Amino acid sequence: MDSNVIAQVGAIQPFLAIASAFVLPLLSLIVKRRTAWESFALTIATINFVLSILLTYSLYTSSTQPLVYAFGAWPPPVGIVYELDRANALMGLLITGLVLAATVFSLRYMEHDTGVQYYYTLLLGFEAGMLGCVYTGDAFNLFVMLEVMSVAAYGLVAFRRHVPEAVEAAVKYAIVGSVATTVYFIALVFAYGAFGTLNMADLALKLRGSTLPVTGLPPGNVFLGSAIFLALTFWAFSLKAAIAPNHFWLPDAHPAAPSPISALLSGIMVKVAVFALMRYLFTIFRGAPPAVPIVQVLDYALIVLGVASATIGSALTLLQRDIKRLIAYGTILNIGYIAMGMGLGNQSGLTAALFHLVNHAVGKALLFMAAGAIIHAAGTRDFDELAGVGKRMPLTSAALLIGALALAGAPPLNGFMSKLWLFMAYLETGWLAPLVVVIVVTSVLGLMGYMKVFYHVYTRQPVKDISSIREAPGSMVAPLLVLAGLCILLGLIAPLFVDQVISPAVSSLFDYQGYASAAQSFVQAIFRGG
Site residues (vs another protein, CB under 8 A): 172, 175-176, 179, 183, 223-224, 227-228, 231, 234-235, 239, 245-246, 248-249, 251-252, 293-294, 297, 301, 312, 315-316, 318-319, 321, 383-384, 387, 410-412, 416-417, 420, 448, 452, 455-456, 460, 492, 494-496, 498-499
Cα–Cα dist 176/486, whole Å? 34
- Rank residues 125 and 251 by Cβ distance to another protein and give the closer one: 251
- Report, in Å, the least distance between residue 245 CB and another protein: 5
- Rank residues 53 and 420 by Cβ distance to another protein and give the closer one: 420
**Chain centroid offset of residue 105 CA:** 19
- Report, in Å, the least distance between residue 530 CB and another protein: 42
CB 68 within 8 A of CB 83: yes
- Rank residues 140 and 235 by Cβ distance to another protein and give the closer one: 235
Q: What is the dihedral of CA 269, 283, 56, 23, to 10 degrees?
A: 50
CB 88 within 8 A of CB 142: no
End-to-end CA distance of the chain: 18
Furthest CA-CA distance within the chain? 75
CA torsion sign, 115 to 121 to 127 to 132? negative
- Report, in Å, the least distance between residue 176 CB and another protein: 7
- Report, in Å, the least distance between residue 265 CB and another protein: 17
CA torsion sign, 300 to 305 to 306 to 310? positive
Cα–Cα dist 327/251, whole Å? 9
- Report, in Å, the least distance between residue 326 CB and another protein: 10
| Helices and strands, number each (H, E), in the chain | 22, 2
- Report, in Å, the least distance between residue 321 CB and another protein: 5
- Rank residues 113 and 168 by Cβ distance to another protein and give the closer one: 168
CA torsion sign, 334 to 337 to 339 to 345? negative
- Rank residues 313 and 349 by Cβ distance to another protein and give the closer one: 313
Cα–Cα dist 154/265, whole Å? 10
- Report, in Å, the least distance between residue 279 CB and another protein: 20
Helix axes 270-278, 86-109, angle to 10 degrees: 170
- Rank residues 200 and 417 by Cβ distance to another protein and give the closer one: 417
- Rank residues 200 and 230 by Cβ distance to another protein and give the closer one: 230
